[in-house]
Structure 1
């Protein structure tokens, strides 16, 4: 019997242990192949698809992520496989197998698995690539469907790329066998584990790091996040690592001291098993919790942005069609009659119309320290503001004489122009100055969102009338806008109106539908691609936990046999196994969810929206998948542990 035959029989004998690893590899290969098939599809490479180049860039990035992630996953899996089989390798060495023969056998095993994984992955990719092309056709709004075809370049890149990847990592892992002696191999599974210890200082450090990153994320705005993103990432990695290597030991040591609960039922066995294996579990728990956080954060942020896109569009561009006439005495940009005729011809229903005249003003805010010059705004009356706000279901303003506030459609993080009861000097278009008592800013889109009209200085009616008396009509600014009932689908008429506006007035005219549809399409594509990558991450994370359980299954079987002999019931044994598995599956989920929750809070701050229900949906869906995977793995694992035992 040569080494190839032995390697094949070893793979067959360890099939249950290899199964999750194999399926994860198959899934990663299939997703990579599907993405490559789109990137190198003739319709995409020949520029027959509008927006194809942008999607190609996204898919390239996704492929890089899959490759990098696969490298770490395969290295981790190879290490775990070798660790679990040290005793087997020691026995083979005692019977005369040389280290060269051992390495050769392991190489053949890994090669068999890798080649089957690549072949199966490409096969699965071919089966599902048609569905992927259909989905991309719908998401990209392509008139001619992307036809199914086998793309030779994608086939070669996927096969050759993953063969090189698997072979390289296998050769690297074989170097570990060279350094081990027979006695080390035989004793690997017999070395007793002592009571785990922890450092108080590192435990405190983990708490400080996690508290610090959560605080930075929870209080971050758009501008803050630019400078905080890397400190947050560093702190969360350090904090999570020391949480599992140090703080978790401290927590279990404290539980160990509570004798009343420790000796209750099977807690003594469950807690002891977990505590004495914490150091072994630490790296896996750290990796799986970070993977969970990445999946929830990436998918959640994209989904929340997508779910809130319509609201952001209506806030960022308050009316579906709007323009600003710098000279309120005439129409230079476009005439209202022309707009109304175009809307009528397109069958677009007008929900309401706004027509507000204001006075150009300038002001300075000490709070906006990043601005080097005075802000330009548009002073309007309280009455005009309330009329427009009512149409957008926004709260009205109630101002006394000399009071004012700034209304603008964007959120500058935690920075505001003014807080309540601040006094500031406003200069009008005729260079007159007035001092006003400012109220708290309002971040809501009411009128035009470009230039000075985006920053409305809302004053009481009497103050406005006094200021307007000395400003001629041709020095005032007029804002006009039309809101449409079905504005999301009025792309054609919006583009038609844009083309009717002369080039020099384009900055004074804005429409909502075209930009919204482009952003919606881009976000939907990103979400769709991100879901594929997230599923790969989820499969890999599950495989790591499955692998950890099956690498120590022989020790577990020995313990279960001993427990059964001293009278522990079948129900109690299943409970012990279930709790231990639950710890591995749901503690990383809990930690990852907490990480993601603070990322959602940061996004909520940046968008100025309440994203709680979207967050619940994302976390809930992920929990359901995690629970299903847990139940399947538990059933398979219990069956493997209890096999051939009379219990």
Structure 2
């Protein structure tokens, strides 16, 4: 038998051992290719760029980050599993050495085996990715809410990148792992099973400390969700939870099992065998349990948060409160009025009923050094853009919200976003109002004192410091400003209709027209600046007005659907990346458990052979096996779900979203997957153990 035949025979002979390793590696390569495909797909780049340059940049950054994360995960996973393989094949490797194979040739054998297997897995992963490309592009189109379908393509760069990364990973792992392999170490591995194992030790102080750290970590997370003042409490909660999880697996679990072992009720039948085996397995697998629990928890929380952010309910509370919003000043008010009328006509031509209104604003200031500001716990800005109460009530009625009543001497500051609103809702009005000196107008023509009320009433119109006063107060201020010649006439015009999200083509047509007109205006202004040159600095206001008379003013506007679409696309990208990364996490975690279970098959087989000789029935042995595997497969899952519950409860305090729906979907799907995986492994493991325990039945 030559060297090549030996390699092929080893791969065939260890097919069942290599199967999960091969499948997991293939899946990782497939996901890597999918991300590469999305990153290099020209049509996807174009559609996202046309929607928003920010979304296009976010997509590129997110997909690139995902590729790096998957590559790192694959490197760690493959390194771990290759080390497990060496341990699993210790008897075969020792026999090769006894038969006279050189250490150099043994290293070359293992290197070529792993490199060949990795190359095949990479090729299969790329082929599987290509075969599923059309389905994945359809999913991407829906998740990212693209207006057009994505064409089926096979980017050469995606294939090249996947091949280089994964073949490179396998080669590096093979080279590093085999270069440190020593013949004496391999021979000594075969004697490990003969060494007696001392009973695991634990201390009640460390066991109790593990539980206390977990509780302290949970408490810190809830403290952050209630206070929302600093990330320090959140980071502290994460650190304490990680430390508590690891200490609980290493100490608390062993402590509990040793206490159970002392009870006479647990020294009967298979319970004695089960607890004894649990005790040793818990010590041996504590690090693995901690790793799986923490990585699964991270995947759970990451997917749930992205599902929450990517949900329609979250996207709908982002952006402006009305369909269209135009700012104006005294100079461009007539142009904005004509433009609003034109857009109204376009919308109504499609059969929609619109409502529109123009709102005037007055600037109100508070001196930053006013001592009264120190008493205002919710101070955020010393400048306000103030509207009259009647305009505020009209807007709130249009968006389906209740307007807050205003007293004559009050200035009601509105919440610009959901987080500010939630913060203010948590305290009574008496704690969020302060008597402050105010100055009206650009030149502070009028001064006085008013009660500034920070209101949870939310109106998002891209004005930070948007506020409301009574109509009488507003009219008095406006009259004073006009008389003094300090009038700073500015404001906004809004258009709204309930079906703003039902006709993307109409919105796209309107936005394209407005954007093109603004682009033309910028081009004309640029040409004017170039033509005038240095004379611009010498021109008076009248000269400048005359020079720009033929150029339409720039139309500053916001589209609710555009913001909504950008949020959906951005969140869709993040959601898809998170789900695929979570799938890689779960597959790798399951594979680690699988490898850890079958790595000690020889030793476990010898143990069950001893039980068989002592008269333990197959049914009793199977009971012991089931209980052992249930702990191995479901204990980390239960702890991860507990961490997940705490995280979702904290998130539910921060944001009013259906987080428990996300919890039930994610947790339920993973539990179903874990049950199926457990049953498959249980059947195979029992069959292999029975072969060791009673060879005569084969």
CA distance in 2, matches of 1:507, 1:606: 37
Would you say the 8 A contact 1:328–1:476 is kept in 2? Answer: no
> In the alignment, is residue 106 of structure 1 matched against residue 110 of structure 2?
yes
Counterpart in the other structure of 2:322: 319
| Equivalent runs, 1:319-398 vs 2, <5 Å | 319-323=322-326, 333-334=336-337, 337-350=341-354, 360-362=363-365, 366=374, 374-376=382-384, 378=386, 381=389, 388-389=395-396, 392-394=399-401, 397=404
CA distance in 1, matches of 2:298, 2:688: 32
CA distance in 1, matches of 2:498, 2:397: 16
| Equivalent runs, 1:504-515 vs 2, <5 Å | 509-515=557-563
Q: Deviations over 1:329-349 (max 9, x none)?
A: 976743664443232124334
Q: Deviations over 1:517-561 (max 9, x none)?
A: 122122223322332232222211111111111112233333334
Counterpart in the other structure of 1:556: 604
Aligned counterpart for 2:500 among listed residues 478, 481, 487: 487
Counterpart in the other structure of 1:532: 580
CA distance in 2, matches of 1:29, 1:396: 55
Counterpart in the other structure of 2:128: 124
CA distance in 1, matches of 2:675, 2:91: 34
Counterpart in the other structure of 1:425: 435
CA drift at 1:104:
3.1
Counterpart in the other structure of 2:181: 177
Aligned counterpart for 2:245 among listed residues 221, 237, 240: 240
Give the 3 Å change call, closer, same or farther, for CA 276–628 of structure 1 in structure 2: same
Counterpart in the other structure of 1:434: 449
Task: Provide structure 2 residue ranges, at least 5 long, that are not aligned to the other structure.
Answer: 367-371, 523-551
Aligned counterpart for 1:156 among listed residues 149, 155, 160: 160
CA drift at 1:165:
1.5
CA distance in 2, matches of 1:478, 1:41: 43
Q: What secondary structure sits across from 1:177 in the alignment?
A: coil
CA drift at 1:68:
0.6
Q: Deviations over 1:267-319 (max 9, x none)?
A: 33223212212222122112212221232122222111111x44443454222
CA drift at 1:202:
4.8
Give the 3 Å change call, closer, same or farther, for CA 516–559 of structure 1 in structure 2: same
Q: What secondary structure sits across from 1:378 in the alignment?
A: strand
Would you say the 8 A contact 1:4–1:108 is kept in 2? Answer: no
> In the alignment, is residue 612 of structure 1 matched against residue 660 of structure 2?
yes
Q: What secondary structure sits across from 1:485 in the alignment?
A: coil
Task: Provide structure 1 residue ranges, at least 5 long, that are not aligned to the other structure.
Answer: none
Q: Deviations over 1:240-269 (max 9, x none)?
A: 333322333234334434544x34663332
Counterpart in the other structure of 2:533: none
> In the alignment, is residue 187 of structure 1 matched against residue 191 of structure 2?
yes
Counterpart in the other structure of 2:254: 249
Counterpart in the other structure of 2:12: 12
> In the alignment, is residue 33 of structure 1 matched against residue 33 of structure 2?
yes
CA distance in 2, matches of 1:327, 1:144: 45
CA drift at 1:164:
2.2
Counterpart in the other structure of 1:633: 681
Aligned counterpart for 2:171 among listed residues 157, 167, 173: 167
Q: What secondary structure sits across from 1:642 in the alignment?
A: helix
State which drifts further: 198-207 or 44-53: 44-53
State which drifts further: 320-329 or 33-42: 320-329
Would you say the 8 A contact 2:322–2:495 is kept in 1? Answer: yes
Give the 3 Å change call, closer, same or farther, for CA 230–267 of structure 1 in structure 2: same
Would you say the 8 A contact 2:364–2:384 is kept in 1? Answer: yes
CA distance in 2, matches of 1:158, 1:526: 21
CA distance in 2, matches of 1:77, 1:6: 22
> In the alignment, is residue 59 of structure 1 matched against residue 63 of structure 2?
yes
| Equivalent runs, 1:446-595 vs 2, <5 Å | 446=459, 448-453=461-466, 456=467, 465=472, 468-472=475-479, 481-488=494-501, 489-490=503-504, 491-492=507-508, 495=511, 498-499=514-515, 509-564=557-612, 566=614, 568-595=616-643
Give the 3 Å change call, closer, same or farther, for CA 55–209 of structure 1 in structure 2: same
Q: What secondary structure sits across from 1:197 in the alignment?
A: coil
State which drifts further: 550-559 or 383-392: 383-392
Instruction: Determine which structure has more spread, i.e. the larger CA radius of gyration.
Output: 2
Superposition RMSD in Å: 4.1
Would you say the 8 A contact 1:270–1:576 is kept in 2? Answer: yes
Would you say the 8 A contact 2:361–2:385 is kept in 1? Answer: no
CA drift at 1:172:
1.5
Q: What secondary structure sits across from 1:448 in the alignment?
A: coil
Aligned counterpart for 2:84 among listed residues 76, 80, 84: 80
Would you say the 8 A contact 1:424–1:436 is kept in 2? Answer: yes
Counterpart in the other structure of 1:407: 414
Would you say the 8 A contact 1:413–1:605 is kept in 2? Answer: no
CA drift at 1:506:
7.2
Give the 3 Å change call, closer, same or farther, for CA 450–630 of structure 1 in structure 2: farther
Aligned counterpart for 1:288 among listed residues 281, 288, 292: 292
CA drift at 1:508:
6.5
Report the TM-score, using the length of structure 2 for normalisation: 0.78
CA distance in 2, matches of 1:103, 1:39: 38
Counterpart in the other structure of 2:303: 299
